[in-house]
Chain A
Amino acid sequence: MDIINAILIIILVICAIAVERTKDLVSAIIIFSAYSLFMSVVWLLLKSPDVALTEAAIGAGVTSILFFAVISKTERFEK
């Protein structure tokens, strides 16, 4: 179980760095929602299914949709 936890946390760190370094904001949002999904698996392994449910609904669903709505009002690429 410790190995699975370590792998998931390494994936989380990679996702976080990738979000910061991506210039295309749509790709950044997709990576961010993947980050939220892995985070919800981590919550589940930490025996907190309540937070995992909320993280999967809010983090991966609503947050990315709100970000997409904002990007459709502004520009797609970072300058």
Chain B
Amino acid sequence: MNDTILKSITRIIVPFIQVYGVFIILHGHLSPGGGFSGGALIGTSLILFTLVFGVKKAKVKFSERVAEISGSAGIIIYVLVGIVGLVLAGSFLTNIEAGFPAGVAGTLMSAGMIPIIMIGIGIKVASTMITLFHTLVEEEVR
């Protein structure tokens, strides 16, 4: 698409969408939302970028290699934190009993490992969304 208004508005609005997604991910244990919703928002901002600027420029910003690494890293964070709970307290994803700091309820640094696995889920969902869209768009018509 070759529209100046569209490109300018997209350049302005994409960082705001991404900051909102990061906010929802980091406040997953305090307010509605969490890893899945915030990751979907970040993925949607990258889809908007792809729609306006084309697949080639979006591949420069978020290549397949980065998508592979970040998607795997997200799920590895989740599994490793779960295994820490398994080793220290005897069941998968054990939170406070396994020694994660509880913090003061209602503040950002609280709830033990929940923010860590929320970050992992957010990275995974965002990279999956953008990989789905890129694969679907650039597949050739037979």
Q: Mark B130-142, 1 if CB is under 8 A from A, else 0.
A: 0011001101010
Contact among A50, A66, A70, A73 for B37, CB-based, below 8 A? A50
Q: If A50-B32, A53-B32 touch, does A65 touch B37 (CB 8 Å cutoff)?
A: no
Q: Which of B33, B51, B129 contacts A50 (CB 8 A)?
A: B33
Dominant SS among interface residues on chain A: helix
Give B27 Cβ to nearest chain A Cβ, in Å: 12
Q: Which one, A53, A61, A62, contacts B33 given CB within 8 A?
A: A53
Number of interface residues of B (CB under 8 A): 19
Q: CB of A69 within 8 A of chain B?
A: yes
Chain A residue nearest to B140 in the complex (CB): A73
CB distance from A46 to the nearest CB of B (A): 13
A→B interface (CB under 8 Å): 49-50, 52-54, 57-58, 61-62, 65-66, 69-70, 73
